[in-house]
Structure 1
Amino acid sequence: MNLASALTGGFATDIRVNQDTINLGNQLMFLGIVVLEIPSNMLLQKIGPRKWISAQVFVFGLIAVMQVFIKDRKGFLASRMFLGLAEAGYIPGANYTLSTWYTKRELSKRVAILFFGMFGGNALSPLLASGILKLDGKQGIKGWQWLFLLEGLFTMVVSIMLFLLLPGSPDVPKPLGSKGFIRFSESEQEVLQKRLELDDKERRPGAQGMHIPLSVVWKTVRHYRRWPHYVSTFAVFSTWSPLTTYTPSIIMALGFDRITANALAAVGASLACVVVFLFAYFSDWTNKRGLSVISAHACYLITLIVARSLHPHVGKWSRWGLWTAVNSFAVGYHPVALSWVQLNCRDPREKSIAIAMWVMSAITGLMVGTQYYRGDDTPFYSNGLRTQTIAVGIGMVFAILQTTIYIIHNKRVAQGKHTVAEGKRPRIYVP
Structure 2
Amino acid sequence: MPINEKQVEALAESQTSRSDEEGQEIKWTEAEEKALVRRIDFLVMPLLTLAFFALQLDRGNIGNAMTDFFLRDVGITQFQFNVGQQLLSAGIVILEIPSNIILYRVGPTVWIGAQILAWGFVAAFQAFQKGLGPFLATRLLLGLCEAGFIPAGLFTITRWYTREETTKRFSVYFLGNLFAGACSGLVAYGILQMRGICNLAGWQWLFLLEGLFTILVGIAFIAFFPLSTGKPVSILGIRYFSEREAQILQQRVLRDDPTKFQPRRNVTWGEIKDTLTNWRLLPHFFMTLLGMAPAHTMGAYAPLLVVSFGFDRLKSNAMLSIGAWALIVTNLLWGWAAAKTGQRGLMVFLGVLILWGFTIGNRVLVGSSNGNLRFGILVTATAFQANWHAVNGSWMALNARSAGERSVTLAIFVMSANIAGIIGSQVFQAKDAPLYYTGWTVIVALISVALFCSIVANLQYRLLNKFQKRTGEARYHY
Same fold (TM over 0.5): yes
Matched residue type, 1:81: L
Residue 185, structure 1, aligned to residue 219, structure 2: no
**Residue aligning to 1:261:** 316
Per-residue deviation at 1:396? Answer: 1.5
Per-residue deviation at 1:110? Answer: 0.9
Matched residue type, 2:97: I
1:298 to 321, 336, 353: 353
Query: Matches of 2:336 and 2:435 in 1, distance apart?
Result: 34
Is the contact made by 2:363 and 2:444 (CA closer than 8 Å) also made in structure 1?
A: no
Could you give the per-residue CA deviations for residues 86-142 of structure 1, whole angstroms, max 9, x where no partner exists? 000000000100111112222121111111111211111111111111111111111
Query: Matches of 1:99 and 1:380 in 2, distance apart?
Result: 44
**Residue aligning to 1:56:** 115
**Residue aligning to 2:26:** none
Query: Matches of 1:69 and 1:165 in 2, distance apart?
Result: 32
Per-residue deviation at 1:249? Answer: 1.1
**Residue aligning to 2:212:** 153
Could you give the per-residue CA deviations for residues 177-205 of structure 1, whole angstroms, max 9, x where no partner exists? 3416xx21122222222322332243315
**Residue aligning to 1:429:** 476
1:359 to 411, 414, 418: 414
Is the contact made by 1:58 and 1:159 (CA closer than 8 Å) also made in structure 2?
A: yes
Map 1:84-233 to 2 at 5 A.
84-179=143-238, 183-205=240-262, 210-233=265-288
Could you give the per-residue CA deviations for residues 160-190 of structure 1, whole angstroms, max 9, x where no partner exists? 010011123322222223416xx21122222
Query: Matches of 2:335 and 2:436 in 1, distance apart?
Result: 31
Q: Secondary structure at the residue paired with 2:434?
A: coil
Map 1:296-335 to 2 at 5 A.
296-313=351-368, 315-335=370-390
**Residue aligning to 2:35:** none
Per-residue deviation at 1:382? Answer: 2.8
Q: TM-score, normalised by structure 1?
A: 0.94
Count matched residues.
419
Is the contact made by 2:159 and 2:260 (CA closer than 8 Å) also made in structure 1?
A: no
Per-residue deviation at 1:85? Answer: 0.3
Query: Matches of 2:275 and 2:238 in 1, distance apart?
Result: 36
**Residue aligning to 1:81:** 140
Matched residue type, 2:157: L
Query: Matches of 2:254 and 2:309 in 1, distance apart?
Result: 55
**Residue aligning to 1:415:** 470
Is the contact made by 2:272 and 2:408 (CA closer than 8 Å) also made in structure 1?
A: yes
Judge which range, 167-176 or 364-373, deviates more: 167-176
Residue 8, structure 1, aligned to residue 67, structure 2: yes
**Residue aligning to 1:423:** none
**Residue aligning to 1:420:** none
Judge which range, 21-30 or 399-408, deviates more: 399-408
Per-residue deviation at 1:258? Answer: 2.3
Query: Matches of 2:226 and 2:444 in 1, distance apart?
Result: 41
Is the contact made by 2:352 and 2:447 (CA closer than 8 Å) also made in structure 1?
A: yes
Is the contact made by 1:203 and 1:346 (CA closer than 8 Å) also made in structure 2?
A: no
Is the contact made by 1:4 and 1:244 (CA closer than 8 Å) also made in structure 2?
A: yes
Distance 1:205 1:175, change over 3 A: farther
Is the contact made by 2:150 and 2:414 (CA closer than 8 Å) also made in structure 1?
A: yes
Per-residue deviation at 1:15? Answer: 1.2
Is the contact made by 1:311 and 1:322 (CA closer than 8 Å) also made in structure 2?
A: no
Query: Matches of 2:376 and 2:231 in 1, distance apart?
Result: 48
Query: Matches of 1:200 and 1:248 in 2, distance apart?
Result: 45
Per-residue deviation at 1:314? Answer: 5.4
Matched residue type, 1:95: L
Q: Secondary structure at the residue paired with 2:169?
A: helix
Can you give the 5+ residue segments of structure 1 that lack an aligned partner in the other structure? 418-425
**Residue aligning to 2:431:** 376
How high is the sequence identity, in percent, across the aligned residues? Answer: 33
Q: Secondary structure at the residue paired with 1:329?
A: coil
**Residue aligning to 1:40:** 99
Query: Matches of 2:266 and 2:100 in 1, distance apart?
Result: 11
Q: Secondary structure at the residue paired with 2:383?
A: helix
Is the contact made by 2:95 and 2:148 (CA closer than 8 Å) also made in structure 1?
A: yes
Residue 392, structure 1, aligned to residue 447, structure 2: yes
Query: Matches of 2:218 and 2:280 in 1, distance apart?
Result: 37
**Residue aligning to 2:27:** none
Query: Matches of 1:219 and 1:405 in 2, distance apart?
Result: 18
Q: Secondary structure at the residue paired with 1:202?
A: helix
Is the contact made by 1:105 and 1:285 (CA closer than 8 Å) also made in structure 2?
A: no
Is the contact made by 2:68 and 2:192 (CA closer than 8 Å) also made in structure 1?
A: yes
Is the contact made by 2:330 and 2:383 (CA closer than 8 Å) also made in structure 1?
A: yes
Query: Matches of 1:117 and 1:7 in 2, distance apart?
Result: 23
Q: Secondary structure at the residue paired with 2:365?
A: helix
Distance 1:256 1:313, change over 3 A: closer
Per-residue deviation at 1:311? Answer: 4.5
Query: Matches of 1:282 and 1:61 in 2, distance apart?
Result: 35
